[in-house]
Amino acid sequence: MNIGQATCQVLYTFPMLDQEDSDGVFTPVAVRSAAAQAADQIVNALRHGSVKQHQRLPPERELARQLKVSRPTVREALAALELAGVVESHQGRGTVVIAVPEQVATWGVEVTPTQVFEARLAIEPQLAALAARKRYPEDLEQLRAAGRALDDEYERTAQYHSDLPVHRAIARAARNPILADALEDALKHTESPRWVELRRHALMPASAREGHVNEVRQVIEHIAEGDADAASEVWRTHLAYYRDEMLAGLQEPRQAGGTG
């Protein structure tokens, strides 16, 4: 039974099933974002040999034209592919395919920066609230130590390499390994060159860095005082600001040759 022509212009045919055999065979159809569908097409091109490892993708403007999507949508699709290790972006060279078809054989569970923040916003405020409710002395000391290290670096350089040690210290202080593991699953997508580039862009304004450091100080204070609601709200605000600052980088053309 043909279900129609998808964005990638491939017709799929499913066998007809008797009604009594069909229950439980299929899962509900998910509505996929334009960025996810654009990423799918690039992966399918790699899988079917239309593009190959080490090949440079067309410029951003041309990809947007071919896919009939906006350039910010192309940027989010490429960011998801970079997080997944399918492509790599190089200053002056554009976006290059680094995967081989075997690596994308089971593609379909791509992760975009937006989804990383959705997960973190669902998890981290709750971790902060739990940490404030439990307040084990040894956990508070480790959290304060992580905060002092961030403060010291910021006071010396007006920069900071990362505030993730504080995020992880809060997760440990929550004493819930299930939620802590869920956070680590989200954080593993923050190590790609593309994520690092977006982060650098987000923290370029001095006001952004100062605001984030102040929010870290506040959440530590609220946790130490046992104010779960305030700790949760500060951590939610911190992540929401960071999300907006980072994802704004997806709206701007990347300064790499061939991506204009």
Between 258 and 125, residue with greater pLDDT: 125
Could you tell me if 60 and 124 lie in one domain? no
Contact 65, 24 (CB under 8 A): no
- Does residue 19 form part of some domain? no
Q: Are residues 162 and 232 in the same domain?
A: yes
Q: Does one domain contain both 140 and 95?
A: no
- Among the candidates 77, 104, 131, a domain finishes at 104
- Confidence at residue 105, expressed as pLDDT on a 0 to 100 scale: 64
Tell me: the pLDDT tens digits for 25-60? Answer: 555 555 678 888 888 888 888 888 888 998 999 998
How high is the pLDDT of residue 114?
85
The residues, any chain, with a CB within 8 Å of residue 186's CB and separated by 6 or more, are 116, 119, 120, 123
Interatomic CA distance for residues 202 and 152, integer angstroms: 21
Inform me whether the pLDDT recorded for 147 exceeds 90: yes
For residue 56, tell me if it sits in a domain: yes
pLDDT at residue 209 in the model: 93
Of the two residues 22 and 64, the one the predictor is more confident about is: 64
Q: Is residue 25 part of a domain?
A: no
* Range picked from 3-7, 102-106, 192-196 for highest mean pLDDT: 192-196
Residue 7 lies in a domain: no
pTM over 0.75: no
pLDDT for 49 equals 87
1 or 223, higher pLDDT: 223
Q: Which of 121, 134, 43, 123 is nearest to 82 (CA)?
A: 43
CA 33 to chain centre: 15
Could you tell me which residues are beta bridge partners of residue 56? 96
The CA distance from 113 to 84, in Å, is 11
Q: Count how many domains the chain has.
A: 2
209 and 132 in a common domain: yes
Length of the chain, please? 260
Q: Looking at the domain assignment, is residue 124 inside a domain? A: yes
User: Are both 124 and 242 inside the same structural domain?
Assistant: yes
- Residue 208: which of 116, 80, 216, 230 has the closest Cα? 216
Q: Which residues of 178-214 are buried (b: 16+ CB within 10 A; e: fewer)?
A: ebbebbeebbebbebebbebbbebbbeeeeebebbbe
Query: For residue 44, what are the domain limits?
Result: 30-104
